[in-house]
């Protein structure tokens, strides 16, 4: 039988590439649920092509447009953010691809886990915000979380067959983004357009800005802590501009495993939704002759302070990563709207982290309150 897939955020970069994987494997997967926040026209096109059982348009103002466009097709149309949490519990779904951006992915992921659905996790913020709660719930419900981020997929692949061999350390690789060699003075004047030009990856605007500031790698470090049960001193970040080695695992005997490949998100997506099988693909293959030199550097945390702030939040634990994430989402949105500078973002995040009350063992309500309060305070700093 075909594996039923729900894609939360099907109109975004990860969502579109997941549909490419499904289209290339029509006998293995079926897109049962597609969702979008506001991109109604793209969602309508996807629905007409893949004919899912259900779609969700979160923006209620777009509901009539979507219903009218799909009239006559056997597709149920739902609207509102709450519909996301309900639709993931549908019986026809086996795996939920969480490709929503930011904090918005938390509650639908919780709902899917409670319904016993496996998770293909592309929404790193879910584990950043509430990693302890999510991983505990997944264990209780016996749900598998398969990482979609290329770095975490690399670690996951390197650990295959190593059940009895604990990790000594992992190295998450970072491209360094478009500003890898720039000085602090140069970064003070960079533009939004420059920040959105990632050298290797095609990603959404929020993730691309996070990559430029190295916050993305900090969020990935926190995600890795929860995915693989690690302590902060077991996680390191190295800059690898070519983005061919996606991450490395070091074992207690000193040996290391690295997962390699061209920077193509369809590979980790296909591995996550097809696990434990490696499905045939026609994706471009890596050619060693095309990459005569693979280089590595230490990240410049004195320049890209967001990475250091993320590690600070991870070491603190509790609700601090939730505060970090909320402040970062506000800062990135402000930068994308030309309301703050690129080098102002770390200050907004740091001030918010130091202002809000720390909770060592937060409940779900504590996470919700911390997120709201952090956003309000970070927004107040924009002036």
Tens of pLDDT, residue by residue over 351-382, are 999 999 999 999 999 999 999 999 999 999 99
Retrieve residue 254's tokens.
């000193």
Q: What is the pLDDT of residue 204?
A: 80
Write out pLDDT tens, residues 147-194: 999 999 999 999 999 999 999 999 999 999 999 999 999 999 999 999
Q: Residue 381: helix, strand or coil by DSSP?
A: coil
Mean predicted confidence (pLDDT) in 212-233: 97
Residue 246 · residue 261 · CB < 8 Å: yes
Query: Does 360 lie in the same domain as 242?
Result: no
Retrieve residue 305's tokens.
């302070």
Query: Does residue 383 have a pLDDT over 90?
Result: no
Query: Does 270 lie in the same domain as 168?
Result: yes
Retrieve residue 129's tokens.
């915000």
What would the DSSP string read from start to end of 183-227?
-HHHHTT--HHHHT--SS----HHHHHHHHHTHHHHHHHHHHHHH
Q: What is the pLDDT of residue 101?
A: 83
**316, 343, 370 — which closes off a domain?**
316
CATH of the domain at 356: 1.10.1740.10
Write out pLDDT tens, residues 229-288: 999 999 999 999 999 999 999 999 999 999 999 999 999 999 999 999 999 999 999 999
**Reported confidence tier of residue 94, pLDDT bands at 50, 70, 90:** very high
Write out pLDDT tens, residues 305-347: 999 999 999 999 999 999 999 999 999 999 999 999 999 999 9
Domain count, the chain: 3
- Provide the domain limits for residue 332: 317-383
Query: Does 172 lie in the same domain as 62?
Result: no
According to DSSP H, which parts of the chain are helical? Answer: 13-24, 40-50, 63-69, 81-87, 106-114, 125-141, 150-158, 184-187, 192-195, 205-213, 215-228, 266-274, 305-316, 320-336, 345-355, 364-380
Q: What is the pLDDT of residue 102?
A: 84
Write out pLDDT tens, residues 33-92: 999 999 999 999 999 999 999 999 999 999 999 999 999 999 999 999 899 999 999 999
CATH of the domain at 77: 3.40.50.720
Above pLDDT 70, what percent of the chain? 99
Distance of alpha carbon 122 from alpha carbon 14, whole angstroms: 8
The most distant pair of C-alpha atoms in the chain lies apart, rounded to whole Å, by 62
Retrieve residue 272's tokens.
């996550």
What would the DSSP string read from start to end of 61-73?
GGHHHHHHHTTTS
């Amino acid at each position: 039988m075909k594996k039923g897939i729900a894609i939360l955020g099907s109109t975004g970069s990860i969502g579109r590439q997941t549909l490419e994987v499904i289209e290339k494997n029509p006998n293995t997967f079926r897109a049962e649920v597609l969702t979008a926040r506001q991109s109604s026209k793209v969602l309508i096109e996807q629905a007409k092509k893949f004919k899912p059982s259900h779609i969700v348009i979160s923006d209620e103002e777009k509901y009539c447009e979507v219903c009218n466009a799909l009239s006559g097709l056997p597709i149920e149309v739902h609207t509102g953010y709450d519909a996301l949490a309900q639709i993931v519990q549908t019986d026809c779904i086996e795996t939920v691809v969480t490709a929503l951006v930011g904090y918005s992915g938390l509650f639908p992921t919780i709902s899917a886990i409670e319904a016993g659905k496996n998770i293909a996790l592309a929404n790193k913020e879910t584990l950043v915000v509430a990693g302890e709660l999510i991983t505990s719930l997944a264990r209780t419900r016996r749900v598998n979380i398969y990482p979609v981020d290329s770095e975490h997929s690399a670690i996951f692949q390197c650990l295959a067959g190593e059940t009895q061999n604990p990790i000594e350390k992992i190295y998450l690789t970072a491209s360094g983004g478009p500003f890898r060699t720039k000085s602090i003075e140069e970064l003070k004047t960079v533009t939004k357009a420059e920040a959105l030009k990632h050298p290797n990856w095609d990603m959404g605007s929020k993730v691309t800005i996070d990559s430029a500031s190295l916050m993305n790698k900090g969020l990935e470090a926190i995600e890795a802590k929860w995915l693989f049960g690690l302590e902060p001193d077991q996680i390191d970040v190295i800059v690898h501009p070519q983005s061919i080695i996606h991450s490395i695992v070091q074992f207690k005997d000193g040996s290391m495993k690295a997962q390699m490949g061209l920077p193509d998100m369809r590979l980790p997506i296909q591995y996550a939704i097809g696990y434990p099988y490696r499905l045939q693909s026609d994706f471009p293959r890596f050619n060693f002759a095309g990459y005569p030199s693979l280089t590595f550097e230490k990240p410049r945390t004195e320049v890209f302070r967001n990475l250091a702030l993320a590690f600070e939040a991870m070491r603190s634990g509790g609700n601090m990563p939730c505060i970090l994430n909320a402040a970062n989402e506000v800062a990135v949105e402000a930068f994308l709207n030309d309301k703050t500078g690129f080098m102002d973002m770390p200050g907004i995040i740091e001030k918010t982290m130091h202002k809000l009350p720390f909770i060592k063992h937060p409940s779900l309500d504590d996470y919700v309150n911390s997120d709201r309060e952090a956003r309000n305070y970070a927004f107040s700093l924009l002036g």
